[in-house]
Amino acid sequence: MTQGPPEPQGRLRPTSGASLAIAGVVGLLGGWLVRPVMVRLGATVPLVSWTQVLVLVFVAAFLAYVAWHTWQTIQVHRRRLEGDRAVNRLVLARACALVGALVAGGYVGHGISWLGSASELADERLVRCAVAAVAGIAVMSISLLLERACRVPSSGSDP
């Protein structure tokens, strides 16, 4: 008689550093390839605008607010979130952490592709890529804080 799969224990592991590193490396390679591929195709290399940077900063600020609110609700006030809200916040945190790593790597790679370029706009693009990469790292870091805020306290007393 065969037994079915073991019962799930209801525990999730935090987002691993390896998955974030892989996302960062994939972003780095993708960002680095954008310029040479576009030049080879005879197309215009995409610009990095301040709007892109501001969107990343806005996302980081929004995530920071959600993380703070979640931390206050679960850790400080010891209240429970509705099941769907808790899962949604956890999924948001994990997805944004991976995307933040991917985006940060992409901007670093794109910036690296401009190093040593004789283009007039190379320095400007390097600065914008650097600031966008920092904003991507902020999105990733704050997402990890949100993921941590979603943890239920391990104390024996349930609220």
Judge if pTM exceeds 0.75.
yes
Does residue 141 lie within any of the structural domains? yes
| CB half-sphere exposure, 75, CA atoms < 13 A | 13
Does residue 12 lie within any of the structural domains? no
Domains in the chain, number:
1
Does residue 26 lie within any of the structural domains? yes
**pLDDT tens digits, 54-110:** 999 999 999 999 999 999 998 888 888 888 888 999 999 999 999 999 999 999 999
Does residue 75 lie within any of the structural domains? yes
Burial 39-74 (b: 16+ CB within 10 A, else e): eeeeeebeebeeebbeebbebbeebbebbeebbebb
Q: Which domain holds residue 60?
A: 18-38+46-149
Does residue 96 lie within any of the structural domains? yes
